[in-house]
Amino acid sequence: MSVLPKTVTEMTLKEAKSIIGSLGNADKMPCKTYGLPACEAKWVPLYCKMLGFKLPLNFGCAVGQKLAKNPESPCHVCYADERGNYSYDSCKHGQVKRLVGVFHPHWKHAMARMISHYTNPSEPYFRWLDSGDVLNRKMLMDIIWIAHILPWITFWLPTQEIKMVRDITANHFLDFEIPKNLTIRISSPVKNKHKLNLKGLPKSVCSSSVSSNGKYNCPSDQYDNTCGPCRLCWDVKHKHTIYKEH
């Protein structure tokens, strides 16, 4: 286990929570998660006004909201776009707090503090963005930094933002390579497209897709729509996950 920076260790949990809100507890996942408003998130301005938050510079899924207009894209019927539990006020309140927190200057320190405290050492996994997507280049770089200083935790980041990932790696914006304990998994923009062009990206960048024709390798249907004992999506050696359409 690495020695954490003072900016993390000297921050109290109360201070960290005041910045980021809370970590998520998605039923399917074996670990803590972090979710943001998905798709266009048109409800965000109203909730920011209700809660007294300054409206963030950007919100929702930049790529996902465009893909949502395509019936052949998994984003067309996004499970996190005001459906099910994601339609509840309590969920929206939490997501807006997290959204606002991303733009706080100490967001990455607060996240590292919370993740290191609440991650179970016997099950050291963390899932980024069970809803929503990476908002900007700084957020992505912060996520990579967090994985770098918490090498004992294995992180999984699914995203449609392949151009952003290419940008920070091709233009050498990072002070270090993407650590092996962070699997960035690029999501296929359309259903049944299982081969993505990842040429030039680091080996820790993998991919995933959605199948509507019964050809999939995600075993969640064997475990009541949960991950069960499977951890392949976190495994950088597992290069491509195919999910069953749901």
Give the pLDDT of residue 40: 95
Residue among 114, 137, 115, 113 at smallest CA distance from 124: 115
Residue among 156, 146, 141 at smallest CA distance from 28: 156
pLDDT at residue 4 greater than cutoff 90: no
Two tokens at 104?
A: 């706080």
pLDDT at residue 1 greater than cutoff 50: no
**Which amino acid belongs to residue 168?**
I
The whole-angstrom distance between residue 132's C-alpha and the CA centroid of its chain comes to 7
pLDDT at residue 215 greater than cutoff 60: yes
State the number of CA atoms in the 13 A half-sphere of 34 facing the CB.
30
Rounded Cα gap, residues 32 and 19, in angstroms: 17
Two tokens at 130?
A: 């069970």
pLDDT at residue 43 greater than cutoff 90: yes
Mean pLDDT across the stretch 125-154?
97
Cα–Cα distances in angstroms (integers) from residue 110 to residues 85, 87, 143, in the given order? 26, 27, 12
Which of 14-23, 32-41, 43-52, 197-206 comes out lowest in average pLDDT? 197-206
Residue among 214, 202, 205 at smallest CA distance from 246: 214
Consecutive H or E run containing 142:
helix 137-149
Give the pLDDT of residue 19: 96
Instruction: Quick: pLDDT tens for 122-137.
Output: 999 999 999 999 999 9
What mean pLDDT value characterizes the chain?
94
Two tokens at 135?
A: 């908002």
pTM for this prediction? 0.94
Give the pLDDT of residue 200: 87
Give the pLDDT of residue 2: 56
Rounded Cα gap, residues 86 and 39, in angstroms: 12
Rounded Cα gap, residues 176 and 217, in angstroms: 32
- % of the chain at pLDDT higher than 70: 99
Q: What is the DSSP string of 61-76?
A: -TTHHHHTT-TTSGGG
Give the pLDDT of residue 49: 97
Two tokens at 190?
A: 């359309």
